[in-house]
A and B are shown apart, each in its own frame.
Chain A
Amino acid sequence: MYGGGNTFEGIKPDALAGEDPIKLAEFEAKIDRGEKIEPTDWMPQLYRKQLIRMIEQHGHSEIIGALPEGTWITRAPGFKRKMSLMAKVQDEVGHAQLLYSAAETLGKSREQMIDDLINGKSKYSNIFNYPTFTWADCCFISWLVDAGAIVNQLANAKGSYGPYCRALDRICAEESFHLKYGHHCVIYLAAGTLKQRQMFQEALNRWWPPMMHFFGPSDKISVHTEVLMKWKVKMGSNDDMRNQFLDMYVPKIKELGFTIPDPKLKKNTDTGRWEYTEPDWEEFKRVINGDGPCNKERLEVRRIAEERGKWVREALRAPKAQYVTPLA
Chain B
Amino acid sequence: MTLFTSMNSLDPRVNRLPIDKVANSSPKAALDQFGTFEVFVQAKEGKPFQHEGIVHAPNIEMAYVLAKETFTRRFTCISIYVTDTRSVHVSAMTEGTNNAYENINDSGASEPKTSYEIYHLLKRGKQHIHVGSVTAGSPDEAMWRAKASLAGEKQVFNIWAIRTDDIRFTTTEDKDLWLTLPEKKFRDASDYKGGDKLKAFLESVNK
A176–B192 alpha-carbon span in the complex (Å):
11
Chain A residue at minimal CB-CB distance from B188: A177
In contact, B27 and A111 (Cβ under 8 angstroms): yes
Does chain A have a CB within 8 A of B17?
Answer: yes
B interface size (C-beta, 8 A): 69
Size class of the contact patch on chain A: 35 or more
Please give, as numbers and ranges, the residues of chain A lying within 8 Å of B90 by CB-CB distance: 327
Please give, as numbers and ranges, the residues of chain A lying within 8 Å of B33 by CB-CB distance: 109-111, 114, 313
In contact, A326 and B38 (Cβ under 8 angstroms): yes
A307–B17 alpha-carbon span in the complex (Å):
12
A264–B1 alpha-carbon span in the complex (Å):
22
Please give, as numbers and ranges, the residues of chain A lying within 8 Å of B171 by CB-CB distance: none
Q: How far is the CB of B125 from chain A (nearest CB, A)?
A: 3
In contact, A317 and B186 (Cβ under 8 angstroms): no
A296–B19 alpha-carbon span in the complex (Å):
11
Does chain B have a CB within 8 A of A187?
Answer: yes
Please give, as numbers and ranges, the residues of chain B lying within 8 Å of A112 by CB-CB distance: 27-28
In contact, A322 and B125 (Cβ under 8 angstroms): no
In contact, A301 and B86 (Cβ under 8 angstroms): no
Chain A residue at minimal CB-CB distance from B125: A36
Chain B residue at minimal CB-CB distance from A310: B25
Chain A residue at minimal CB-CB distance from B196: A187
A115–B189 alpha-carbon span in the complex (Å):
35
Please give, as numbers and ranges, the residues of chain B lying within 8 Å of A109 by CB-CB distance: 33
Does chain A have a CB within 8 A of B97?
Answer: no
In contact, B4 and A35 (Cβ under 8 angstroms): no
* Chain B 181-193: CB-based contact to A (< 8 A → 1; otherwise 0): 0001011111011
Stretch at the interface among B51-59, B130-138, B146-154: B51-59
Contacts A118-B24, A326-B54 known; A71 to B197 CB distance under 8 Å?
no
Interface majority SS (helix, strand, loop, mixed), chain A: helix
Chain A residue at minimal CB-CB distance from B84: A324
Please give, as numbers and ranges, the residues of chain A lying within 8 Å of B200 by CB-CB distance: 191
Does chain A have a CB within 8 A of B14?
Answer: yes
Please give, as numbers and ranges, the residues of chain A lying within 8 Å of B201 by CB-CB distance: 187, 190-191, 256
* Chain B 142-177: CB-based contact to A (< 8 A → 1; otherwise 0): 000000000000000000100000000000000000
Chain B residue at minimal CB-CB distance from A115: B26
For this complex, 22 residue pairs linking A to B, each with C-beta atoms less than 8 Å apart, are: A40-B93, A111-B29, A111-B32, A114-B33, A133-B10, A162-B124, A173-B75, A191-B197, A206-B1, A296-B7, A297-B4, A300-B19, A307-B22, A316-B62, A318-B35, A321-B31, A323-B30, A324-B36, A326-B36, A326-B38, A326-B54, A327-B160
Which A residues fall within an 8 A CB radius of B?
Answer: 30, 35-36, 38, 40-41, 71, 80, 83-84, 87, 90, 94, 97-98, 101, 104, 109-112, 114-115, 118-119, 130-133, 162, 165-167, 173-174, 176-177, 179-181, 183-184, 187-188, 190-191, 206, 255-257, 292-294, 296-297, 300-301, 303-304, 307-308, 310, 313, 316-318, 321-328
7 tightest A-B CB contacts, nearest first: A36-B125, A316-B58, A191-B201, A111-B28, A180-B192, A184-B192, A187-B194
